[in-house]
Chain A
Amino acid sequence: MPVTSERLLEVSDLQVEFRTRDGVARVLNGVDYSVDAGETLAVLGESGSGKSVTASTIMGILDTPPGLVTGGSVRYRGEELLTATPQRRRELRGEHMAMIFQDALSALNPVYTVGFQIAEQLRTRRGMDRRAARRRAVELLDMVGIPAAKDRVRDHPHQFSGGMRQRVMIAMALALDPDVLIADEPTTALDVTVQAQIMDLLADIQAERHMGLILITHDLGVVAEVADRIAVMYAGRIVENADVGSLYAKPCHPYTLALLESIPRVDSKGTELTVIKGLPPNLTAIPPGCPFHPRCPMAVDRCHQVVPPLEPLPDDRSSACLFAKELVSR
């Protein structure tokens, strides 16, 4: 494997289409982001913004068809993944990058014990014998905070509670020591007290192993608590990318600004919420120009014509808005 000073994982200008009966849905229209070792990148967006499709493309588990990668690149330590052989991608999955999903009950196989499912990859990839793999599975379950791991290793997924199942999936993802972990809405289905436990666990593991963590979520609260950097997605594009402090202190894209103003907060009682009018665009008919312009309070005529590129701003941040410079110097 070539060792270079490249970023751990870098996605640039990624484009993905879905060919559907209703026409071509342009799901990703040039996604750029990167993550370094020990860094937590939060990918924030509403449903349909393309955050999960980006993750599936990185992992090489995008369903093709209907999905089709039409351009761009995904590099892991400088190595291009989109043109890599299926065999090479298989080597990278699990060993170097792993993913955890929102719904652990459907991500785990209901007919095998959790111990078997964790041990399976250790046996096929590491050539461990049954007993050693089982022992390692117990260690992993113990590490993710499952009480009485030694007994629970023989249980099936349905015997665990929602939070415990999520822990099992985290244990499985960590079995082969990946250095990139993609967590796709890992706590969305969980109750708030359990969500806090799982986010703490992910943060601890990430710090301990110095992993790059890509956290996909729509929850602005979760992001504020754990992320280092944030990439905000809208209609298959990154519209803003900044470190967590500056993004919340001074959003430089009207969409981010509107999102932050539209959420109710537990620490204050507001009166009326500021509403983002309209709906996210239909991906088979994305409006010309900036995709956010029909909903944007700042839109001018030029926004209907040009697609604003993701341009760098001071403080190592970037925004895809014609008014980014005005917004940053507010």
Chain B
Amino acid sequence: MTLLLEVEDLVKHFPVQLGIVFKRTVGHVRAVDGVSFDLHRGETLGVVGESGCGKSTLAQVLMRLEPPTSGRVRFHGEDIFAKRGRALKALRRSIQLVLQDPYTSLNPRMTVGDIVGEPFEIHPEVAPKGERRRKVQDLLDVVGLNPEHINRYPHQFSGGQRQRIGIARALALRPEVIVCDEPVSALDVSIQAQVMNLLGDLQREFGLSYLFIAHDLSVVRHLSDRVAVMYLGKIVEIGSEAEIYSRPSHPYTQALLSAVPVPDPTMRSRRDRIRLSGDVPSPVDPPSGCRFRTRCWKATELCADAEPALVSRRGGHHPSACHHAEEQHVVAG
């Protein structure tokens, strides 16, 4: 498999400022704090974590919507943050974004045709003017919408259909990578499956790579080949779908998996639950050493002193950022 995207020690800090006229910086929100991973062609990398773990900031930095504090991202071996002008425009063609909320990510005053066709205005080389209408109709057909609805407005569609419009827009420029930031979280249960199947079909048809960001572990398991688990701006464990879900070795991954309710009442008594106490600490002032130690039942003095690296240890076969990593079966199946 071809390597598409290499993310190396990516950091994004947001300053916390006080004062109205004379602003002074009193600290930093360490939203993304040293994240590294690779993404290959045709692959889906799932990123899971609770709110505030930095997964959406990660998406924004990768899309070059926010400048990084430090670190490198290479796309086809070239540094994306060094690109300017024409090279940057070409890059934007190759990496596209699907957002969570289909109600706010579409302009209510534009027709569906204008929304899906807008990328062609910016990148006219993809579709000459005369062909655009037909191209847009093709795209609507690909995502399962009626091509005759090209002149309708977003409010005339349901949530699931609107998410399809967002996906059609992301597909317009034939990108290689699509970053999906919680694409099904706002949808109803019966609609979620439709959109998830669509994402799977499109991947097979166009050879797309997805960076699939979500908080729902069941959804991520269904779509991902590999999974990265984030906690307070760091990846705590990364591995194949089977490794993360069947043999998790980081205590946070284990707790997260054991907290997911399983739609099977016969499992109620059979599952060993791990219950975390407390909330996620503030990313402005994360704990020393291992960031998870304040909620971890395995924490020792070592965890407060030394930050565990994301490496494979004797306790597991895939990288896990825990001094006491140990594979444990948490969910059945």
Binding site for B on A (CB under 8 A): 46-47, 147, 161-164, 191-197, 199-200, 218-225, 227, 244-245, 248-249, 258-260, 262-270, 272-276, 279-280
Contacts and interface: CB of A to CB of B under 8 A. Distances in A.
B283 to A, nearest CB: 13
B262 A225 contact: yes
Contact of A197 (B196, B261, B275, B333): B275
Interface of B: 50-51, 158, 160, 188-194, 196-197, 200, 215, 217-219, 221-222, 241-242, 245, 255-257, 259-268, 273, 275-280, 331-333
Given A196-B259, A265-B218, A272 B190 contact: no
B331 A267 contact: yes
Given A221-B263, A225-B262, A264 B196 contact: yes
16 contacts: A46-B190, A191-B51, A191-B215, A196-B275, A218-B188, A224-B261, A224-B268, A225-B268, A245-B265, A245-B266, A248-B263, A259-B190, A264-B193, A265-B218, A265-B263, A267-B267
A274 B222 CA distance: 13
A164 B256 CA distance: 19
Given A259-B189, A259-B190, A273-B222, A248 B215 contact: no
Given A193-B50, A272-B200, A221 B262 contact: yes
Interface centre among B242, B263, B276 (most CB of A within 10 A): B263
A221 B219 contact: no
A106 to B, nearest CB: 17
A248 B278 CA distance: 32
A200 B275 contact: yes
Given A191-B51, A197-B275, A222-B261, A262 B190 contact: yes
Given A195-B259, A218-B189, A259-B189, A266 B331 contact: yes
Contact of B189 (A162, A164, A220): A220
Nearest to A248: B265
A199 B262 CA distance: 14
Contacts of A227: 265
Given A193-B256, A275-B193, 10 more contacts: A195-B261, A196-B275, A224-B263, A263-B192, A264-B221, A266-B221, A266-B245, A273-B222, A275-B197, A279-B160
Contacts of B192: 262-264
Contacts of B241: 269
Ranked nearest first, the 4 interchain pairs of A and B with the lowest CB-CB distance are A221-B261, A264-B222, A191-B50, A267-B333
Nearest to A244: B265
Given A245-B265, A258-B190, A262-B189, A279 B158 contact: yes
Contact of B196 (A162, A259, A273): A273
B194 to A, nearest CB: 5
Given A163-B279, A193-B50, A197-B275, A266 B257 contact: yes
Contacts of A275: 190, 193-194, 197
A253 to B, nearest CB: 14
A276 B190 contact: yes
A236 B268 CA distance: 30
Given A264-B221, A265-B218, A279-B160, A273 B261 contact: no
A264 B279 contact: no
Given A191-B215, A225-B262, A248-B264, A269 B190 contact: no
A222 B189 CA distance: 13
Contacts of B218: 221, 263-266
Nearest to B53: A191
B303 to A, nearest CB: 19
Nearest to A200: B275
A224 B265 contact: yes
Contacts of A192: 50, 215, 217, 256, 259-260
Contacts of A46: 188-190
A280 B188 contact: yes
B247 to A, nearest CB: 14
Nearest to A274: B193
A273 B50 CA distance: 25
Contacts of A161: 279
A191 B278 CA distance: 12
A260 B264 CA distance: 10
B187 to A, nearest CB: 10
A262 to B, nearest CB: 4
A263 B263 contact: yes
